[in-house]
Structure 1
Amino acid sequence: MRHTLPIAPQFYVTAPQPCPYLEGRMERKLFTALQGDGADQLNNSLSQQGFRRSQNVLYRPSCTDCAACLSARIDVAAFRPTKSQKRATRRNSYLERRATSPWATDEQYELFRHYLDTRHADGGMADMDVFEFAAMIEETPIRSRVVEYTDPGTGNLIAVSLTDVLDDGLSMVYSFYDPRQQQNSLGTYMILDHIDIAREAGLPYIYLGYWVPGSPKMGYKAKFSGLEAYVGGAWQKVGDPNLFSDASTHPLSAAPIAEQVASIQLPDRRPTKG
């Protein structure tokens, strides 16, 4: 009888490049391929250890002298909306939500381009063309959904979230919206609506990506109660965000790559006995 041993994921590190969140610092990412029959298991396991998905790659910041980027998630059971968040829900309650398979459309791309050109014209995605956009939406080896929010009166697409469905929650991979309606707090509303979706589905967490204490671009994530951050190999309740903004940029705050890889817990991918 022939036996095939499971192949463990291989991890790699990107070349350093300027950090988009903290001026004067360089970022580097630890990443691995997301593919094969064990893709769902690997995605679930590594998402719980601070990794994020981009198409068929899982990555986590691995900078040489900084650990300011913290993976963040909301504990749905502990979340309590603020007054301003309740207002955001009321302002956008007219929108209709529709969850579809991950398929890119011209309308999505038009909204995406308008969003980038208005809010992130100098960002890393600014030059993304329609083919790259389609790849971002469609190239997923796991269970993903495109959640669209439309105006029922006009039929116009107002906001979109590419969302992964994990064993323990929803991961908001990327969201964008009509920048002309910025005053309606659409970004906040989509997170609030995903909290409702997760609660209805019995899923305990909403994964928000990375929170960088001290970065204005990421400050909105700290406004959600029930926030947890992945620090030192474990999820910690945030409570006071100011307590997370000191030692993370110290030169000795980041562990060596070999130590980081050795500490990653991989799912058991051995075939089950029939």
Structure 2
Amino acid sequence: MNDPLKPHKRLSELPFYVTPSHPCSYLDDRQASTVFVDPTFPLTMEHYEQLAALGFRRSGDHVYRPNCTHCKLCIPVRIPVNSFQPNRNQRRCLRKNKDISIRTLEADFNEEHFKLYRHYMSSRHAGGGMDKDDPEAYQSLISAHWCNTQLLEFHLQENLVAIAVLDQFQQGMSAVYTFFDPSLDRRSLGVFAILTEIHRVQEAGFPYLYLGYWNPQTVKMAYKSNYAPMEYLEHTGWHSMEDNPLFKTGK
């Protein structure tokens, strides 16, 4: 297989733009900036895979990366799945959810999925604008016309309890978003979804599951360091999370 880290010759053709400074979504006392690939450019999965290896993420048609001047706390991370070993809590989560069935679907609009998404957003992120009754906005969040996206559908008996949005590359997958029934907190469905995604990447024979950004100062992202071993990206390339000073400080 070709290593997506070398070369990045096709990325030189991409147009990028940088947003003005704006309030950070994660840390109240910080200002943020983001670099985007121009969404009007005809992206391909080859572009996207190379960008993911450079720390970019996808949300709908938008592919982006933090570009903050005075803060570098949002750190790209990925799991080398062939080395992954679930910890005690994760093994307990797997046992607890043995009765859940999983199937893979195309990323097409589904009314039942949308209903679960709204229930999740109104419970976990009420007032943020993402819990509105807007099917088009929902579909534009999870999919892009140029992207190879799968949905993992989790059922408990006949009830839909979770959806995981997963992008597939030639050498890995990217966990885009997960939403689930908030009344089933004791099942740790978010954890179960990531463990399922790791297994899917292993089954496909790929080396990496990209998890987006780890930030040790916000609960929304700090949990990602629970999946070990993990790699993080800095200017010299990907390294073991065990070598990251912020990770060592938080242990």
Calculate the TM-score normalised by the size of structure 1.
0.81
- Secondary structure of the corresponding residue to residue 230 of structure 1: strand
- Secondary structure of the corresponding residue to residue 65 of structure 1: coil
Contact between 2:118 and 2:132, CA under 8 Å: does it hold in 1? no
Contact between 2:216 and 2:246, CA under 8 Å: does it hold in 1? no
- Secondary structure of the corresponding residue to residue 117 of structure 2: helix
- Secondary structure of the corresponding residue to residue 80 of structure 1: coil
Relative distance call for 1:16 and 1:88 in structure 2 (3 A) is same
Provide the rounded CA distance (Å) in 2 between the counterparts of 1:240 and 1:83.
23
Correspondence 1:136 to 2:146? no
Contact between 2:17 and 2:38, CA under 8 Å: does it hold in 1? no
Residue of structure 2 equivalent to 1:194: 197
- Out of 103, 114, 118, the residue aligned to residue 98 of structure 1 is 103
Provide the rounded CA distance (Å) in 2 between the counterparts of 1:240 and 1:183.
33
Specify which structure has the bigger relative contact order, considering alpha-carbon pairs within 8 angstroms and separated by 6 or more residues.
Answer: 1
- Out of 219, 222, 241, the residue aligned to residue 222 of structure 2 is 219
- State the 1:118 CA deviation: 1.0
Residue of structure 2 equivalent to 1:177: 180
Provide the rounded CA distance (Å) in 2 between the counterparts of 1:128 and 1:218.
27
Letter aligned with residue 117 of structure 2: F
- Out of 218, 225, 238, the residue aligned to residue 241 of structure 2 is 238
Letter aligned with residue 96 of structure 2: R
Provide the rounded CA distance (Å) in 1 between the counterparts of 2:129 and 2:22.
11
Look at both structures and tell me which one has the larger radius of gyration over its CA atoms: 1
Cα deviation 1:198-255 (Å, max 9, x = unaligned)? 1111011111111111212112101111111111241111127663488xxxxxxxxx
Provide the rounded CA distance (Å) in 1 between the counterparts of 2:34 and 2:133.
20
- State the 1:44 CA deviation: 0.7
Correspondence 1:33 to 2:33? no
Percent of pairs identical after alignment?
35
Provide the rounded CA distance (Å) in 1 between the counterparts of 2:248 and 2:72.
10
Structure 1 segments unaligned to the other structure (5+ residues): 1-5, 247-274
Letter aligned with residue 72 of structure 1: V
Letter aligned with residue 106 of structure 1: E
Relative distance call for 1:245 and 1:213 in structure 2 (3 A) is farther
Contact between 2:242 and 2:248, CA under 8 Å: does it hold in 1? no
- Secondary structure of the corresponding residue to residue 239 of structure 1: helix
Relative distance call for 1:72 and 1:32 in structure 2 (3 A) is same
Contact between 1:213 and 1:245, CA under 8 Å: does it hold in 2? no
Provide the rounded CA distance (Å) in 2 between the counterparts of 1:56 and 1:233.
28
Q: How many residues align?
A: 238
Relative distance call for 1:78 and 1:128 in structure 2 (3 A) is farther
Contact between 2:142 and 2:177, CA under 8 Å: does it hold in 1? no
Provide the rounded CA distance (Å) in 2 between the counterparts of 1:237 and 1:122.
38
- Out of 47, 54, 65, the residue aligned to residue 60 of structure 1 is 65
Provide the rounded CA distance (Å) in 1 between the counterparts of 2:247 and 2:213.
13
Residue of structure 2 equivalent to 1:14: 19
Cα deviation 1:60-104 (Å, max 9, x = unaligned)? 000121111011111102211101000101111111111111112
